[in-house]
Chain A
Amino acid sequence: MTYLPTSEHDELRAVVRELAEERIAPRAAEIDRRGEFPWDLKELLARQDLLGACFEERHGGTGLDEIAQVILAEEVARVDATTSLIPIVQKLGSLPITLAGTDEQKARYFPPLASGEWLIAFGLTEAAAGSDVAANRMRARRDGDAYVLNGSKRFITHGSIANVLTVFALTDPEVGGRQGMSAFIVETDTPGFSSPRLEHKLGIRGSPTAELQFDDVRVPLENRLGEEGEGFKIAMQTLDRSRLGIAAQAVGIAQGALDAAIGYAGQREQFGQRIGDFQGIQFMLADMASQTEAARQLTYAAAARVEVRAADLPYWTSAAKLIAGDNAMRVTSDAVQIFGGYGYITEYPVERMMRDAKITQLYEGTQQIQRLVIGRQLLQRAGVRDRVRAGSAAGA
């Protein structure tokens, strides 16, 4: 199995990097400070066809392969984690449709998403159901040719600005979340839907994280994804693939912090010499660089498994997200250390990168959930029958 980037991948990286450095990087500090969604950059990414990366050409997308999609997220996250979430969440939200949607559903929803005219969000997590996805409470009651949705969701990235959502709700509460949950496509202009509140966050501050409220929201029958009761499976299959985007984001954040630290070490003078000439700083940079490269290569390896729909892809994507997320946290913290006091103030970008990095250890499954996924995959490989009921899940 080959997962070396091709010359086309290199070309994509060059194109996205130029755009990111010239147009996104100069906005990053302001987006963070104001905590406002960068609509201008969403338009820019749409105009450059970069929001259509995960959609097939017949739906107006560009149908990039998985490694190319990783490179796209990585290069945007290198300058701004908030903006990188625009393509990442466009994929996360639409994956349930990609995996379980009908041709009609895809033909209806993918073109406006591929063009970037519409945004989508993934509505799974609830206040009391994060890692424990099966503990979801939201209801979907069948009523004639529709389902009526009631309940609320929390921590939904882009939930307040999306035109459409993929939402998970119990159609059969008697049997619980694993067998009784179903997935739906909900247009956010449907009566009864509202987004009453946004979270105030440590990082990715320009990306709205919303609470969603559903009061008798009528969803037509044809907007159910898959069969009744398949919701849990669809959610898990989605997260098995979408985690790759978070690994990519984490690699990008780490690379951005590393690049900033190298630049600073080459210019800051103390004790009469550049701090980069101190071996202590060189050792730090060497660790940051080689560990980021390791995270990147593991992420590409995982992307190659997702591309060919390998049976053990959950193992690979969880491992990539675990390694890349922890690396991003460590590398951004070390970058702040290299900057010293200047790293701690908003005049330089590394404190923002450190705050942004933390989320990659939390969302789309905490690092602890990734370990559970990896552990279960290991036992499965060894032929040990799965008896673990709890903790197979991963909140988004």
Chain B
Amino acid sequence: MKIVVCVKQVPATTAEKRYTPDKRLDRTSAESVINPLDEYAIEQALRLQEAGTVESVAYLSMGPEQAAEALRRALAMGGDEAYLVTDVALAGADAWATARVLAAALDKLAPDVALMGMASDDAKGSLVPGAVAAIRGLPLLSYGSELRLEDSVARIRRLNATGYDIIEAPLPVVASVTDQVGEPRYASLKGIMAAKRKHLETWSLGDLGIDADDLHGATLTRVMEVRPPEAKAPTERIENVPADEAATRIADWLAARKLL
């Protein structure tokens, strides 16, 4: 059995973000990491490989050339090979365009499971897994807290308000997992060294038989405005007063906001 984990390179949460004049994130300016939520998908795939359920784990990313770094980091955690779809025509691709490109690449790789994180840390759309499944005409098992594979069936456990739903579908499937799958491993030193020798292949849109103009015509999203989050109200400090008076003032403060 074969899993392809889709991996996105995103700016580190702590990185200072800059935007291009056409309101796109300037990805060269920010320190980049593997989307932290994708690390859970990687961990899930590697656990299935270690258990012997899965023979091969590959990674797929779409992004600028530097996204190869994220794929190397993923390969350092484990897995066998990686594919990067990179093309100047992909700059500014929205979730739908991304899904089309990933779907075409997944058609080529033909895995039993295309596995993804539950969202990306930058756009947080959570649209891509569903869109990829729709384009490829495959079942979607989303938000799994665990993925299991048996014979020709994929099964996830999904947290609901009162317990778990167990959802299964015949392979092949598209699936996404949450941070409930367990802590992602750190890449070991030998893993990092081995990753340098693993197969990493770069594809252009042409390699996937996608016409750039066609893709642009299909872009559904327009960015209207980009701005930093509102600054928080200044912290109110209660200092140098006796404890009982401080407690009363805190209680009053909370009561005034109907929090008590």
Contacts and interface: CB of A to CB of B under 8 A. Distances in A.
Interface of A: 11-12, 15, 18-19, 47-50, 52-53, 62, 64
Interface string B188-209: 1111110000000000000000
13 contacts: A11-B192, A15-B186, A15-B189, A15-B192, A18-B186, A19-B186, A47-B188, A48-B186, A48-B189, A49-B188, A49-B190, A50-B189, A52-B189
B187 A15 contact: yes
A180 B192 CA distance: 46
A11 B191 CA distance: 13
A49 B190 CA distance: 6
A62 B190 CA distance: 7
A12 B193 CA distance: 10
A304 B189 CA distance: 21
Interface in B167-226: 186-193
Contacts of A12: 189, 192
Given A47-B188, A49-B188, 13 more contacts: A11-B192, A12-B189, A12-B192, A15-B187, A15-B192, A48-B186, A48-B187, A48-B189, A49-B191, A50-B189, A62-B190, A62-B193, A64-B189
Contacts of A52: 189
Contacts, number: 25
A67 to B, nearest CB: 15
A18 B186 CA distance: 9
Interface of B: 186-193
Contacts of A11: 192
B189 A62 contact: yes
A53 B193 CA distance: 12
Contacts of B187: 15, 48
A49 B193 CA distance: 11
Nearest to A44: B186
Nearest to A51: B189
Nearest to B31: A14
A12 B191 CA distance: 12
A50 B187 CA distance: 11
Nearest to B190: A49
Nearest to B189: A49
Interface-central residue, A11, A18, A47, A53, by most chain B CB under 10 Å: A11
Contacts of A15: 186-187, 189, 192
B192 A53 contact: no
A19 B192 CA distance: 14
Contacts of A50: 189
B15 to A, nearest CB: 14
Contacts of A47: 188
A64 B189 CA distance: 10
Contacts of B186: 15, 18-19, 48
Nearest to B187: A15
Nearest to A52: B189
A86 to B, nearest CB: 14
A32 B191 CA distance: 31
B119 to A, nearest CB: 22
Contacts of B193: 62
B182 to A, nearest CB: 15
A49 B187 CA distance: 10
A318 B188 CA distance: 32
A19 B191 CA distance: 15
B189 A53 contact: yes
Contacts of B192: 11-12, 15
A87 to B, nearest CB: 11
A296 to B, nearest CB: 21
Contacts of A48: 186-189
B144 to A, nearest CB: 25
Contacts of B189: 12, 15, 48-50, 52-53, 62, 64
Contacts of B190: 49, 62
Contacts of A49: 188-191
Nearest to B69: A11
The 8 closest A-B pairs by CB, nearest first: A49-B189, A49-B190, A49-B188, A48-B188, A62-B189, A19-B186, A50-B189, A48-B186
A15 B189 CA distance: 9
Interface-central residue, B187, B188, B191, by most chain A CB under 10 Å: B188
A64 B190 CA distance: 11
A195 to B, nearest CB: 31
Contacts of B191: 49
Contacts of A53: 189
A18 B31 CA distance: 14
A11 B196 CA distance: 12
Contacts of B188: 47-49
A129 B191 CA distance: 44
A11 B188 CA distance: 12
A49 B191 CA distance: 9
A48 B190 CA distance: 8
A18 B193 CA distance: 17
A334 B115 CA distance: 51
A51 to B, nearest CB: 10
Nearest to A47: B188
